[in-house]
């Protein structure tokens, strides 16, 4: 199994090197997209624990306005996902669907509509090595489809 994973990693590295224009040299800068079909393009993100800051940039690759198909990127302990989604719905679009001063929210972007992007930077010190973290979109009804795992490596 490890052998296969190493192979895949090597293959991914080769592809990245072959495409210098699209490769991200900095492992502390992560990108993720959300579309008009209520989907993120990645189900998992990871960054080195050695990063000073981790920056996540969310792109909305669709065309619908944020009132109809808004997306954000909210980082939480996996156990808090449902509660944060619920609180976010109540907070409304004026608060980017994130309850103000919600301590369960470790980091979040603002809510974007089609064609827009938003970034958030945070310290890996917020996360425990080996902890289980998830990211989600807290736009009402989106978290069931729009979530993924986040890891320090
Ligand atoms: Zn969304």
Distance 90 CA to ligand 1 centre (A): 15
Q: Which SS3 state, helix, strand or coil, does residue 63 take?
A: coil
pLDDT on residue 129: 84
Which residue range is the domain that position 67 belongs to? 27-152
Residues 19-55 pLDDT 10s: 555 565 799 999 999 999 999 999 999 999 999 999 9
pLDDT on residue 22: 55
Q: For the residues of 11-36, what is the DSSP string, one character each? A: HHHHHHHH-TTT----TTEEEEEE-T
Kindly state whether residue 40 falls inside one of the protein's structural domains: yes
Report the domain count for the chain: 1
Residues 77-103 pLDDT 10s: 999 999 999 999 999 999 999 999 999
Residues 57-75 pLDDT 10s: 999 999 999 999 999 999 9
pLDDT band at 16 (very low <50, low <70, confident <90, very high): very low
Rounded to whole angstroms, the Cα distance separating 64 from 42 reads: 20
Kindly state whether residue 148 falls inside one of the protein's structural domains: yes
For residue 132, what are its two tokens? Answer: 């289980």
Q: What is this structure's pTM?
A: 0.84
Distance 68 CA to ligand 1 centre (A): 9
Kindly state whether residue 12 falls inside one of the protein's structural domains: no
Kindly state whether residue 5 falls inside one of the protein's structural domains: no
Distance 3 CA to ligand 1 centre (A): 36
CATH number at residue 116: 2.60.40.420
Which residues, 6+ apart, have CB-to-CB distance to 36 below 8 Å?
Answer: 61, 62, 63, 64, 69, 114
Distance 14 CA to ligand 1 centre (A): 32
Residues 96-149 pLDDT 10s: 999 999 999 999 999 999 999 999 999 999 999 889 999 999 999 999 999 999
């Amino acid at each position: 199994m490890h052998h296969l994973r190493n192979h895949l990693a090597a293959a991914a590295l080769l592809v990245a090197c072959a495409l210098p224009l699209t490769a991200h040299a900095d492992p502390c800068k992560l990108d993720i997209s959300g579309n008009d079909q209520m989907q993120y393009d990645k189900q998992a993100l990871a960054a080195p624990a050695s990063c000073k800051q981790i920056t996540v940039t969310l792109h909305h690759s669709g065309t619908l306005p944020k009132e109809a198909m808004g997306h954000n990127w909210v980082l939480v302990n996996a156990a808090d996902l449902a509660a944060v989604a619920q609180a976010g719905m109540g907070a409304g679009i004026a608060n980017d669907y994130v309850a103000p001063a919600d301590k369960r929210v470790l980091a979040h972007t603002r809510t974007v509509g089609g064609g827009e992007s938003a970034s958030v930077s945070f310290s890996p010190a917020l996360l425990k090595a080996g902890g289980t973290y998830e990211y989600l979109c807290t736009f009402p009804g989106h978290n069931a489809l729009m979530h993924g795992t986040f890891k320090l490596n």
